[in-house]
Every structure is written in C-alpha cells, then in structure tokens.
Chains A and B, each alone.
Chain A
C-alpha cells in the first residue's frame, strides 16, 4: 500500500516503513541503542532524500528516547544536573550542526557530508566495538577475568568551573559535559542520530560516571537535543516529515519490545559482536556509494524557495 509522504514528496509502501521501523526497533531494543545510525542509512537506501532522512530521524529518536528515559527515570537512573550540562552543550552543538547542514544543502554537498560522517563514525566505532567484544569473548572462554582500571587523566581535574554532581558522585568541571554534549549535538544535527554510541562511552571513560546513571542521563539529554535538531531543521530547511516519523515510530515501538525480550536471552559479547558487524555493514554500504562510479553522474536539485 503506497503512502504519500508530504515532505519527502514521494510515495513509499506503508508496510515497508512499518517493517523498517519494526526491524530497527527490534535491534535497538535488543542492543540498547537508539537505532538512528541504522534507520537514517536505511531511509536513504530506500530513496528518501538524505536531508529529509536525517531531519525526520531526529524527530523519531525524540519519541524513542522519551519512553526509554521514562523507564530509567522510574528507577532513579537520571542525573538531572549532569543532563542539564549535557543539554547546554547539545543546544550549542545542534545549532552549529544545523547551520552547517543548511549551508551545505545550498551548495549541494549535504549528501556527501552525511555519507562521509557515516563512513567515518560507523567505521571507527564498529571496528573498536568488534575488537573489544571479540577480545572479551575470548577472555571469557579462556577463563581469564580481567578488570580494567579506570584511569583518570590529570588534565581533566585541572579544568576550571568545577561543579558537584551528587547523583554521579563526581566533582568535575562543567566544561566536560558541555563539551561532550556539544559534539553529540553536532552529530545529531548532521547525521540524524541520538549520539548515544558516542556519549555513553564518553560518560563512562572521560567523566567517570557510574554505569547505573549513564544510559538514563544520556537518553534524557537525547530527548532535548533531538527536539532542538527537529526544530532547527524544520525552520532552516523544511525537511522534517512528521508523517514518515510517525509511521516509523509505530513499527519501532513494537519492535523494541520484542527486541528487549530476545536480547535478554543472548550473551553480552555475542550481542556486541553482532552489533559491531551490523555497524560495519552499514559503513561499507555507505563507503561503496562514495567510491564506486555512479551509474548516473548528473543529479537534479529543485531550487529551494
């Protein structure tokens, strides 16, 4: 059943959208990730203009993060004060990202930037995750238990504007969460991702936050950053397709519930290897689009009025 998407200005099969939403929702539930880094490329592969895919996915991630953040909130897993600092940074970052996005769109390079950003981030994070999870799996199989000690660099403690974060039991410079939030904000604006895959490791290894508040706080920040991104893209480039976002959402909500249940039955390392392989797969597909000679060298962009 084809469905006309008013902003993407194309028809897509409604069942395809529900399946895509469900599939990505399933994976995000299983792996505990937002899924934006999978959904945005999928939308692009399905023919949605990359700019619309990015902006719309930001909108969809807002919804996905709300339900996730709610669950963590109930368990007391959100550090509001830390979240606020991340949001301040996120607002600045998403503003910068959205401006760059709008500018590149006028000179016809936004698709290139999106593809390059994906290849770069998915490639490096996918490889790191794969190596790390294979090592962990090997060690567990050979019976060696190793515990990495968190090493805190001294420069981190010499930064000014120190602030006390009671829930995270930290006394660190506010510049740190603002800086992390900012880079995530830029990524959200130009890639249509929540940025959890950058933020969660950064919160653990750079800030030294306890793991029980990391995911909840990151989801809390993602709600606000993706909302800001949605707003900025709506105003700057009119690329947010609410109809597409809602259709993806329906599938994603259902898929995520199934994914959580399946994920609990699988071992952590196996899950991470699977996820790493998937991330690398998307990366390779994106890279192929950049490196192989296209069938058609010419493309048309209607002038934005």
Chain B
C-alpha cells in the first residue's frame, strides 16, 4: 500500500512538471510571436517569420554518411496587412564557416597540365545550401540579393591574388563549380513550395565531407519582391566519437599520433607474421 502511494506521488509530481514545462514552452512561443524574432524594420507590413531547424547539432561519426535536416517555419501574417493578391517567397540559406580557400587553375606547361595561377578567397562560405520557393532572379533583384549575400555568386568574395591575375570572375566560378561537384554547395531551387500561405519547410542534406564549425541558417521572407523579414538559426557541425578523437589527436599531438601509427603498424605486422606462421 505504501509502495503504491509512493508511486502515485511520484506520478503526480511527474505530471506537474510536464504541465509546468508546457506552460513554459507556451510562454516562450508567446514571447517569440509577440516581440518577434524577425526584424522587418524597412517593411511596411508587419508579417513575421518564425522558423527552426530539426537538429541544432550535426555529429560526424566514423560511419557518417551525411545527415538530413528539416528547416521549417511559418509566416505569421499580420491580419491587417495580409493581402491575398501578394506573392510571398521564402529563401533559406544554410552557410558553413567562412574559411580561407586557395583556388588553383591548371595550365598546360611543356605538354602537361600543371597548377599555375592561384587566388585565395579569404572568407567565402565553406558550405552553402540554398533553397527557395522560386528561382532567385524571379523573386527579387540582383541588388537585393547582393546586399543580403543571397546566392552563390552574390557572396562577398574577398580575395588575395598575385599581380597579373585578372580573371577573378573565372576563379569565383571555378570555386563554385568545385563546391557544387563536392556537394558542398547545393541548390534546392524550385523544390521548396510553400505548404500553404503560412507554412514552409526545406529538406536539407548535409554530406559527409562537410567542414566542421558554426553554421547559420538564414531565412528571408519576400512579399512582392520586397524583403520584409529575416530570421536566423544557428547550427553546429562537430566530429563526434571515434573520428573526432583521431582527428584531434592527429592535429594536436602530431608526434604522438605518428608514434601511435607506427606502433599500430608494427603490432599488426607482427601479429600477422605470427598468425600465418605455418
């Protein structure tokens, strides 16, 4: 009887905590909706954007084959300004850490193809997924895209190059092609229809060769070609478990890593030699 009572007490407490949690979450949502996570400062309407990501941490494990993320959100239409004739568009960008990258161009020298000129892009996104309800140039103007760094070609490609290299545009295009081939720049254009006037979602695949670090998901809401709201969500890509241990060991203690690699080779070679002795 006592035991039963204790159980019941525990159960009640548990229920209580759930309801508190629900209340808390509800309050947070209310706060988010009321004050807005968006900044439609230059817009005339007060349509808002609420968005989130299915996972905020992507872990690369030793069997990592990539990870699928869902970006979802809702347009919180202002009842007074909602217009049924207006065209709403959403653009979602997921960008990886901005890392310096050297782009090299091959030229034919003495009959063989050799890396010759190179340009270093100092802060281009290492990873970039772009989803939009329509092709970018149908949504808005090039100026708006460039101002908000939306689109592969409209990033700020700060670069360092030696004198005599004039074809920077060619290097930018080469950079983008390489990234697309590696699956590190992905275009999901036309594949993200608005589920309704208010709901949208994009399915995003993070491939295995993704660089680690701080990612950001940016969501832009356009109404008749005008940017009326933006929203950001952070995402961290980390190496977890075995692969993280190996990678960090190799980079932080390279001498010990080298010795360990030698020991493993010597031991396994010796083991093989003993096992197959017949």
Contact = CB atoms under 8 A, between A and B. Distances in A.
A203 interface: no
Nearest to B122: A303
A246 B269 contact: no
B99 A4 contact: no
Nearest to B209: A10
Contacts of A300: 101-104, 175, 178-179
A63 B261 contact: no
B239 interface: yes
Interface stretch (B106-114, B197-205, B218-226): B106-114
Given A6-B62, A296-B177, A108 B246 contact: no
Contacts of A3: 62-63
Contacts of B171: 298
B94 to A, nearest CB: 19
B188 interface: no
A280 to B, nearest CB: 19
Interface string A38-82: 000000000000000000000110111111101100000000000
Contacts of A67: 269-270, 272-273, 276
Contacts of B106: 294, 297-299
B268 interface: yes
Interface stretch (A159-167, A188-196, A236-244): A236-244
Contact of B209 (A1, A9, A60, A296): A9
Nearest to B244: A6
Interface string A221-252: 00100110011111100101011011001000
Interface residues of A, number: 55
A66 B266 contact: yes
Interface string B222-259: 00000000000000000100111011001100110111
B174 A7 contact: no
B118 interface: yes
Contacts of A1: 63
Interface string A111-122: 110000000000
A298 B104 contact: yes
A238 to B, nearest CB: 5
Nearest to A231: B258
Contact of A257 (B107, B259, B276): B276
Interface string A146-164: 0000000000000000000
A262 interface: no
A11 B266 contact: no
A16 to B, nearest CB: 14
A66 B265 contact: yes
A298 B103 contact: yes
A250 to B, nearest CB: 9
A290 B110 CA distance: 11
A32 B102 CA distance: 42
A62 B266 contact: yes
A124 interface: no
B27 interface: no
Contact of A108 (B64, B104, B126): B104
B144 interface: no
B99 A231 contact: no
Q: Most chain-A CB neighbours within 10 Å: which of B106, B244, B254, B268?
A: B268
B14 interface: no
A294 B106 CA distance: 8
A266 interface: no
Contacts of B209: 9-11
Given A296-B178, A298-B177, A245 B62 contact: no
Interface of A: 1-4, 6-7, 9-11, 59-60, 62-68, 70-71, 108-109, 111-112, 223, 226-227, 230-235, 238, 240, 242-243, 245-246, 249, 253, 257, 290-294, 296-303
Interface of B: 60-65, 99-108, 111-115, 118, 120, 126, 170-171, 173-175, 177-179, 181, 208-209, 211, 239, 242-244, 246-247, 250-251, 254-255, 257-262, 264-266, 268-270, 272-274, 276-277
Given A231-B261, A242-B250, A303-B101, 5 more contacts: A6-B250, A64-B269, A230-B265, A234-B250, A242-B257
10 contacts: A2-B63, A3-B63, A62-B266, A66-B269, A67-B272, A226-B265, A230-B258, A234-B250, A234-B261, A303-B120
